[in-house]
Each structure stands twice: as C-alpha cells, then as structure tokens.
Amino acid sequence: EDRNMAVVTCSAPVNIAVIKYWGKRDEEAILPINSSLSVTLHQDQLKTTTTVAVSRDFKEDRIWLNGTEDNITHPRLQTCLREIRRLARKRRNSGDENCNTFPTVSYKVHICSANNFPTAAGLASSAAGYACLVYALAKLYGLEGELSEIARQGSGSACRSMYGGFVQWVMGEKTDGSDSIAQQIKPESHWPELRVLILVVSAERKPVGSTTGMQTSVKTSPLLKHRAEKIVPERMKEMTEAIQCRDFESFAQITMKESNQFHATCLDTFPPIFYLNNISRRIINLVHKYNSHHGETRVAYTFDAGPNAVIYTLHQHVEEFVEVVKHFFPPEENGGHIRYGRPRYPPPPL
C-alpha cells in the first residue's frame, strides 16, 4: 500500500424534482423556503463521475471539470472541502477505532469531475456534481452518516442526489441548517414500472443561473411566497402518498402542476425569467393532448431552470410516447431541436 497517496472514484446520478425547490431563506447555509421532493435517476443514466486523490506530494488543492482546470476558490466548493475535512478531523480526534487514520487530512486534494451530459443546461448537473464530490471525499476519509447536509451547501438540490429512489429534502426549522436534510421516502425498487425520458431541447448553458434567479424571485415574486407557505406543504403530503400507493395519475398531475407553478413564479419575478421556449411549450401541449386522447394521465412533463423536458411515464407507455414525439419532432427536420440516443459526452475513462 502506498501511504503517500489515496484515490477514490465515485458516480452520482442526477435527480429530477417533482416538487420544486426555488428560493432560499439563508443564502450562506443554503436553506430553502420550502421542502422539495425528487426522483434520483438510475446509475447508468445522467451522472457525474468524480475522482478524488490526496497525496503528500500535491502542493495545492486543484479541480478539473470535464477535462479543463477550474477555479478551486469557488466559495461553495471551499465550503464542502472545509466541512468534509472538519468531519474527518473530528472523527480522528475522537479516537474512533473504526475510523481510518489514513490519508492524512492535511494532504492537498486533486478533484477530477466529468458529466456524461451537457453541463449547466438545466439538467441538474450541479446536483450530481456536488453529491458525487461529497460522497467521494467521505469515502476517501472513511466517513459515514449524514452527509446530505454538506452536499446541500454545495448546491441545494445536491442533497437529494445523496440517496437513490424517491427523496425528500426537508426544509427544516433551525438556523444552523442541521435539520435541513435529505431523506429517502422509498427506494427505486418500490416502483419498477416508472420511467424517465429526457428530451434535450437545447444543450446550451442557461441564461439565468439558479442562484441569481432564486434571489430575484424571493425579492420580487408574491406568488413564490404564497406557493412556499400555502401550496407546497399540502403538495408534499399528496405527492408522498401518491408515491407510496404508486398512484401514477396523482403523481403525474402534481408533477405537471408543480412545473407549471415554478415557471409561473419565474414569470412573476421582476424582471421576469424565461426558462421555457417554444419547443418546451409544444411538448407541454403534446403531453396534454396525448393524455386526453387516451382519457387518462399516462405521461407527465417537468422542466427545471432550462428548456429541456423531463418526462415521467410508465414502462408500458414508453414505446408509444417516443413514437409520438418522433412524429411531431422528426429528427431529420428539426435541426437538432431534440436529440435522440446517446448522451453528448462520453463518460471519462476510470
């Protein structure tokens, strides 16, 4: 064993919220104004792969994102590094026998992280990224237990990617954020028929990032305040029930209403924020027409901070719905409006 160097590689999938997080009550600690709920995708879908290495020979902390060196001084990145190192020191000093004493916490770290999908296009890249980083560092130092609190401080939605399946992020009440954590409601195996499709409308970086977008919304949107206080608490209960009973009809309807209300609060923000484009809106119409044609809710859409559609459906409807999408958005004619098949970036070699 090389006692001078330690390396860990991990992958974390993205999560797609069905009850949306939008707005912080504390910018520094990343505490939300409402609870949220998401589905973590499968490991072989959209994911981040991160390698962390510590060595006696490294002179400074460094990070590479998708192959290019990035700024290690990013405040949220620094927070995650600091918190993990603090936990590692604490456990070591407590004399816990099950705790690794190697690697030494004072060694500098090199981080290498890559997504197998477009970064910052509103496909929750930061969620998978920070979850993966925190998890990999925890493995490196042999840490266990509640880590979603640290991932949350990288990117709010990242705390939900620390668990698989159906996950809630409880907003919490405390000012130190210790009760603002992610919890698994049900594992992925609870609902094996559920499927997720991603319709990549645009792989470009989003015009307004979630951090600034949320700040402006919290400051200016009365609808957001109403939603956080009066609407979300009820929907959290309904959605949890729908998941527990595998009631797709309710699950799908709440999901679509949540997406629409989130984008309504963006429009209610001043100046307004537009994440949806004409293709997004055509997809919304298509889903509603498809469902009413069948006289039941077979498909649901949801959109985050970008124009790309995420579709929830059940396995028996996937084939037909994909055919319908292909019919209305023919791959040859749409100039690449929607791409099919493999993700854009090959995953990095391990």
Residues engaged in binding ligand PMV (CB under 6 A):
17, 20-22, 36, 124, 126-127, 155-157, 210, 304-305
Nearer to ligand PMV among residue 56 and residue 237 (C-beta):
237
Nearer to ligand PMV among residue 100 and residue 240 (C-beta):
240
Least distance from C-beta 157 to ligand PMV, angstroms? 3
- For residues 20 and 161, what is the distance between their CA atoms, to the nearest angstrom? 14
Least distance from C-beta 242 to ligand PMV, angstroms? 17
Residue with tokens 């719905």: 321
Residue with tokens 């792989």: 203
Nearer to ligand PMV among residue 192 and residue 233 (C-beta):
233
Instruction: Give the helix, strand, coil percentages of the chain, each rounded to 5.
Output: 40, 20, 40
Least distance from C-beta 131 to ligand PMV, angstroms? 10
Residue with tokens 């998941």: 243
Nearer to ligand PMV among residue 88 and residue 127 (C-beta):
127
- For residues 125 and 117, what is the distance between their CA atoms, to the nearest angstrom? 8
Nearer to ligand PMV among residue 168 and residue 297 (C-beta):
168
The partner residues of 17 in beta bridges, in order of sequence, read 38
Nearer to ligand PMV among residue 53 and residue 304 (C-beta):
304
Least distance from C-beta 161 to ligand PMV, angstroms? 10
Nearer to ligand PMV among residue 22 and residue 329 (C-beta):
22
Asked if residue 74 lies in contact with residue 25, where contact means CB atoms within 8 angstroms, the answer is no
Least distance from C-beta 18 to ligand PMV, angstroms? 9
Least distance from C-beta 153 to ligand PMV, angstroms? 11
Least distance from C-beta 200 to ligand PMV, angstroms? 16
Amino acid at 341: G
Helix locations, the chain, DSSP H: 75-93, 125-140, 148-152, 210-220, 222-226, 232-244, 248-268, 278-294, 315-328
Q: How many residues are listed for the chain in this entry?
A: 350
- If you compute the radius of gyration of the chain from its CA atoms, what whole number of angstroms results? 21
Residue with tokens 């210790």: 178
> How many helices (H) does the chain have, and how many strands (E)?
9, 14
CA 133 to chain CA centroid, Å, is 13
Q: What's the CA angle centered on 282, arms 276 and 285, to 5 degrees?
A: 110
